[in-house]
Amino acid sequence: MKDEIVIPALSTPHDDSSNLKNILANTSLFRMLDEQQLDDILFSTRSAQAKAHTEIVGHGEASHGAFWVVYGQVKIVLHTKQGTEKILEILGQNTCFGLGEMLLDRPHIAQVRTTTDSMLLHVDRAAIMCVAAQNFDFSRELMTCVGRQFYSLVRDIEGYSQTAKQRLAEYLLRQSRREVSDDIQLVAKKSLIASRLSLTPETLSRLFHDLATEGLIAMSGRRIKILDYERMSAVMP
């Protein structure tokens, strides 16, 4: 097993092989593998801890495999010619990225950077493709992950026709469906969420204030509670 991801500014964590194998075995992507297949993936896995604001993948960089976020958070970013950035996605723990580029053997179009201290795994393409040829459930999980990312992209394109308020309402309703309680914990700083929704931070703050004034939500820091799901849903077109 290789010791580290060859990316500047990343440090190697102190996880031995058994701990790393346990991490892999408990991910949704690899948990269906048998012992031999898991060992094959383990042999081709590199692990690393990255400080916040570390570049993990650069624009135009060749793809050699897929990444898994063990803990922490990354943002997937496109940079415009005007020097601004558009956040395509904010990914937290137990999520993967780089599958599309890996499957197509194409370079990365977007940049990926950590937003908090994070632990990442990188699995080489050859190992993933070999195990995928042996294990149908694993192949299906790969397709599910890519399909989920494609669906998210299409949903974003659809959102371009929505008003700013509708985009935020949909985002909050979508987040609420992932929570086990009535409270929503915003997954990132409001500035990152604003970019994710193609809004300015000022516009996002105003919209949060408007929704609170209308009695649709209650806010406490990064925690939000939807007070009226019916009226919030009515915001949508």
CATH class of 10-159: mainly beta
Give the whole-angstrom CA distance, residue 71 versus residue 91.
Answer: 10
Least confident of 15-19, 67-71, 122-126, 158-162: 15-19
| First and final C-alpha spacing in the chain | 52
CA–CA distances in Å: residue 95 to residues 17, 114, 217: 21, 13, 28
CATH fold of 164-234, please? Arc Repressor Mutant, subunit A (1.10.10)
- For position 14, what pLDDT does the model report? 43
- For position 139, what pLDDT does the model report? 95
Contacts of 178 (CB under 8 A, 6+ apart): none
Contacts of 235 (CB under 8 A, 6+ apart): 165, 166, 169, 216
Which residue bears the tokens 């469906």? 177
Q: CATH 2.60.120.10 in the chain, residues?
A: 10-159
pTM for the model stands at: 0.77
Summarize pLDDT for 145-164 with one digit per residue, the tens.
999 888 888 877 777 788 99
- For position 181, what pLDDT does the model report? 65
Contact between 207 and 165 under an 8 Å Cβ cutoff? The reply is yes
Q: CATH 1.10.10.10 in the chain, residues?
A: 164-234
Give the whole-angstrom CA distance, residue 170 versus residue 155.
Answer: 10
User: Which of 76, 74, 153 lies closest to 115 in space, CA to CA?
Assistant: 74
Categorize the per-residue pLDDT at 27 as very low, low, confident or very high, splitting at 50, 70 and 90.
very high
